[in-house]
Chain A
Amino acid sequence: MPFGNTHNNFKLNFKSDEEYPDLTKHNNHMAKVLTKEMYEKLRGKQTSSGFTLDDIIQTGVDNPGHPFIMTVGCVAGDEESYEVFKDLLDPIISDRHSGYKATDKHKTDLNFENLKGGDDLDPNYVLSSRVRTGRSIKGYTLPPHNSRGERRAVEKLSVEALNTLDGEFKGKYYPLNKMSDADQEQLIADHFLFDKPVSPLLLGAGMARDWPDARGIWHNEQKSFLVWVNEEDHLRVISMEKGGNMKEVFRRFCVGLNRIEETFKKHNHGFMWNEHLGFVLTCPSNLGTGLRGGVHVKLPKLSTHPKFEEILTRLRLQKRGTGGVDTASVGGVFDISNADRLGSSEVQQVQMVVDGVKLMVEMEKKLEKGEAIDSLIPAQK
């Protein structure tokens, strides 16, 4: 839980050694990088909103991690965190994003026309398609740090911006604390409703404070474009539909995002972005595009093939269960999405999903016919 700027000064009365966390049993990116020397160097700093080193790392201290899954173990409290604490965050970013260097530049490309294909994924296999990203609103602190007043201001501004959308994007906002039972049931049935986080990774970072104050869901009338307000990030933007038309999902995603951004800019609060880190979000794992483009796809045979994991790795894709992160697959249906976020553009990442899923469906069909798939296994992308 963040303590605000009044507390860090008091802590400095104690020696760095006495405050340094015990990370001997930890396995996360933060624990790998944060030496005693680095702790000593950074503990006296704070961003201008008062976010401190201990605020950044608390979630990683409280969640030692898993031997198989390497979590990030830290969060940003504001845009400045990535600058003030770059000595800690740059190596973590590099570890997490395949060697991305402190001097690298990230390319943003939201021109949906640059995507090739993607409208022909076989709907007998691809049950649904979805692209999500996050956006942070410049000038406000992030969910681990923001006060109630700030979070409410983010909500107010976001709802104003979203209410200006028209045409295919015309929609409505449902605040979590004023939801009628009927609305709630409908949102659950549509698989739109998000609930108070239960993961200790999120709770340990303080982003569930004051729930459900200033949290809500906005969606368009066709239920194909959805925005979460004040969950893990200021905004999570989601475009989705049943079937395999990823091209259309991506078009709507890009057009909708650009419209929203225009509106925010008019209010003098554009999105947090810079040419090194791309879009700035709460978790360092979501920097760059913050984009996860994926499908729910039936791969009962391929998923049990001994080379399944390797194929995914080579295609730069990851699998999840149909409940999202940290869930299991049900009935051979997997959530397949891009593994990368930083260092490649939106178009490039969605292209990888489109090409990769198309290939895997081909493999599945071959396996159904009892044929081998070795000739189809690609080189490392």
Chain B
Amino acid sequence: MAHSFGRILSSKRNVGILSLIGAGSVTAGFLLKREHVSAGAGVRRVYPASAEYPDLRKHNNCMASHLTPAIYAKLVDKATPNGYTLDEAIQTGVDNPGHPFIKTVGMVAGDEESYQVFADLLNPVIKERHNGYDPETMTHPTDLDSSKLTSGQFDDRYVLSSRVRTGRSIRGLSLPPACTRAERREVERVVVDALAGLKEDLAGKYYSLTNMTDQEQQQLIDDHFLFDKPVSPLLTCSGMARDWPDARGIWHNNTKTFLVWINEEDHTRVISMEKGGNMKRVFDRFCTGLKEVERLIQEKGWEFMWNERLGYILTCPSNLGTGLRAGVHVKLPRLSKDPRFSKILDNLRLQKRGTGGVDTAAVGSTFDISNLDRLGQSEVQLVQTVVDGVNYLIECEKKLEKGQDIKIPAPYRK
């Protein structure tokens, strides 16, 4: 390619191959092979690490729990080949002390290499966030064979809608907290190009945030598809809203059941959804669509960020592995008032959210119920967990309707 990305890509692909064969840390020798910035090239520091160490005494997030002064001192001079530093990775966690009840992650990755260069901090954070998953010793299973899903059709009288989402990052390009404008625009080009190749029930159209007409905007709002500039300080403090709305956009298929967000919190967020309880069809479309998009980008020499330790690489460590959240909007008026509701959800490895998504409240006892886990289990396993769990919740609701008692299920075992 005459394009400047061609040269960068070929060296990045080597990183990809190393990652695929499970090489742990990318060695310094390899990094120096890169033609651009050499790793560890003078991070400008005037003060010793002890003078720079953040004040985390009032903080409650995973980063603050694991960033000791010793780890800080060890990592503060390092930079990824793109020049991303520890201070940048943790800025969001320093700026957002957290909440006594909700433990946020408190850090992000600026690129694929962040997960290796800052592994001394990221690995314990990942372990805490993902229930003891140890990236140094464990492997993550990827399985997008939706035919394995059983009982994936819910009772439509209870389940109003079904949805599966994940994210995908384009290997060779920096992630939203760190990407340059040129990189972000390249992500847009690569993905939009690939999506244009989708056919039949997946065929669709791209709406760039910078060029949207008022009508298109209104339609996207009515369809509940439009995403806006992030306002959450968790996101804005990490730098992912820079240059908004440059190179951001929304793609969806003509039937409005398959949707891709470009350059929001991740390079891409991929969503399959429909009204009603046919989670099987939603998951089928999800897997087919994802595999098709992957095939289309590979035709052009690109690939997704993935390795066998961490699965799919995304901006936030909480989304590693499958990056998958499968959920339903379900009516549970009686069960939701039962004092055992939270415990039942816990044991089913499910979480509840309001119908506006994360950090919203439920409306009229309709809840968003989805999987808690992301890393350490495959896509098929997680969606099956949601299917089995939601079926159980509906059974409970029906029992309560008839005045029968319900049981707390045994805690979930893999």
Contacts and interface: CB of A to CB of B under 8 A. Distances in A.
A15 B82 CA distance: 16
B47 A58 contact: no
A14 B185 CA distance: 11
Contacts of A149: 46-48, 51-52
Interface string B176-214: 001011110110000000000000000000000010000
Contacts of A62: 241-244
A153 B8 CA distance: 40
Interface stretch (A204-212, A217-225, A336-344): A204-212
A177 interface: yes
A22 B55 contact: no
Nearest to B246: A22
A147 B47 contact: yes
Given A21-B243, A22-B210, A3 B47 contact: no
A210 B178 CA distance: 18
**Could you say which interface size class chain A belongs to?**
35 or more
Interface in B267-294: none
Interface residues of B, number: 46
Given A6-B42, A6-B79, A209-B91, A11 B243 contact: no
Interface string B64-101: 00000000000000010111110110010011000000
A279 B237 CA distance: 30
A9 interface: yes
Given A15-B4, A210-B94, A3 B88 contact: yes
Nearest to B183: A14
Contacts of A5: 42-44
A148 interface: yes
A203 interface: yes
B87 A147 contact: yes
B interface secondary structure, majority: loop
A42 to B, nearest CB: 15
A61 interface: yes
B236 A203 contact: yes
Given A1-B239, A62-B242, A6 B55 contact: no
Contact of A14 (B42, B178, B182, B239): B182
Interface in A309-335: none
A211 B95 contact: yes
Interface string A49-72: 110000000100110000000000
Interface in A157-216: 177, 203, 208-211, 213
A18 interface: yes
B17 interface: no
A209 B54 CA distance: 11
A113 interface: no
Contacts of A6: 37, 41-44, 79, 83-85
A348 B241 CA distance: 42
A20 B45 CA distance: 29
B36 interface: yes
B242 A152 contact: no
Given A6-B37, A7-B82, A1 B242 contact: yes
Interface string B28-58: 0000000011000111111110011111001
Contacts of B95: 208-211
Contact of A11 (B84, B85, B182): B182
B87 to A, nearest CB: 7
Contacts of A213: 54-55
Contacts of B81: 10
B242 to A, nearest CB: 6
Contact of A9 (B54, B55, B83): B83
B180 A19 contact: yes
Given A3-B178, A4-B43, A6-B42, A13 B52 contact: no
Given A5-B42, A13-B8, A19 B182 contact: yes
A23 to B, nearest CB: 10
A149 B72 CA distance: 13
A152 B51 contact: yes
Contact of A3 (B8, B83, B241): B83
Nearest to B247: A22
B185 A10 contact: no
A13 B44 contact: no
Nearest to B78: A6
Nearest to A46: B44
A284 B354 CA distance: 45
A150 interface: yes
A62 B51 CA distance: 31
7 closest A-B pairs by CB: A149-B47, A6-B83, A18-B182, A149-B51, A14-B182, A7-B83, A1-B239
Interface of B: 4, 8, 36-37, 41-48, 51-55, 58, 79, 81-85, 87-88, 91, 94-95, 178, 180-183, 185-186, 210, 236-239, 241-244, 246
9 contacts: A3-B88, A15-B4, A18-B4, A18-B182, A50-B44, A58-B242, A62-B244, A147-B87, A153-B51
Given A21-B246, A153-B51, 13 more contacts: A4-B85, A5-B44, A6-B43, A10-B37, A10-B83, A13-B8, A19-B180, A21-B243, A61-B243, A148-B51, A149-B48, A149-B52, A153-B47
